[in-house]
Amino acid sequence: MSSPPDGLPAYRLLTGPDDSAFCHRVSEALVLGYRLYGSPAAAFNGERVIVAQAVLWPGSKHAAG
């Protein structure tokens, strides 16, 4: 597949609380064919840890090798 399914963008930044639901969202993106892009990030919002992970569709102009 040359482009992401369902009209999804080539670059996505997934964010949310650091819980199993977030991990499932990242895993689902990987199953669709996305690749991790950069390192994950984490911040504390005063109540809980919020995490972020960028994913990139292979072959997009920003994808490395």
Range of the domain at 47: 7-56
Structure tokens at 39: 């390192």
Question: In whole angstroms, what is the distance from residue 13 CA to residue 56 CA?
Answer: 9
Decide if 65 is inside a domain: no
Question: In whole angstroms, what is the distance from residue 56 CA to residue 63 CA?
Answer: 7
Structure tokens at 41: 């990030």
Decide if 1 is inside a domain: no
Decide if 63 is inside a domain: no
Structure tokens at 25: 């969202």
What pLDDT was estimated at residue 60?
80
Residue range 15-58, pLDDT digits in tens: 999 999 999 999 999 999 999 999 999 999 999 999 999 999 99
What pLDDT was estimated at residue 18?
97
Decide if 64 is inside a domain: no
pLDDT of residue 64 exceeding 60: no
Decide if 15 is inside a domain: yes
What is the domain count for the chain? 1
What pLDDT was estimated at residue 33?
97
Decide if 36 is inside a domain: yes
